[in-house]
Amino acid sequence: MMRITGRAKKIAFFVTLGAFLIGLAVALNVTWIVINWREVVPLVLGIIFFGLIIAGLIVYTIFLVREIHKNEQQDSFLNAVTHELKTPIASIRLYLETLESRQLSEPQRHDFYRIMLEDTDRLIGTVEQVLKAGEARHGSNKKNWQEVDFSGIVFERLTSRVCAITCRRKRFDLESNRKRNFY
DSSP letters for 116-157? HHHHHHHHHHHHHHHHHHHHHHSGGG--------HHHHHHHH
pLDDT at 180: 63
177 φ, ψ (degrees, to nearest 5): -65, -40
pLDDT at 133: 78
Give Dmax (Cα) for the chain: 114
DSSP 181: H
pLDDT of residue 141 exceeding 70, the answer is no
- Residue 146 or residue 78, greater confidence: 78
Average model confidence (pLDDT) across the chain: 79
Spatial separation of the C-alpha atoms in residues 34 and 39, rounded to whole Å = 10
pLDDT of residue 5 exceeding 70, the answer is no
pLDDT of residue 2 exceeding 60, the answer is no
pLDDT of residue 142 exceeding 80, the answer is no
pLDDT of residue 1 exceeding 60, the answer is no
Residue 99 — very low, low, confident or very high, per pLDDT cuts 50/70/90? Answer: confident
Spatial separation of the C-alpha atoms in residues 50 and 29, rounded to whole Å = 6
pTM, two decimals, is 0.48
pLDDT of residue 77 exceeding 60, the answer is yes
pLDDT at 76: 87
Spatial separation of the C-alpha atoms in residues 68 and 73, rounded to whole Å = 9
Long-range contact set of residues 79-88: C-beta below 8 Å, sequence gap at least 24: 81/126, 81/130, 84/126, 85/123, 85/126, 85/127, 88/119, 88/120, 88/122, 88/123, 88/126
- Residue 3 or residue 147, greater confidence: 147
Q: Average of pLDDT values for 98-106?
A: 86
Cβ contact 37:43 at 8 Å: yes
- Residue 156 or residue 99, greater confidence: 99
Spatial separation of the C-alpha atoms in residues 13 and 3, rounded to whole Å = 16
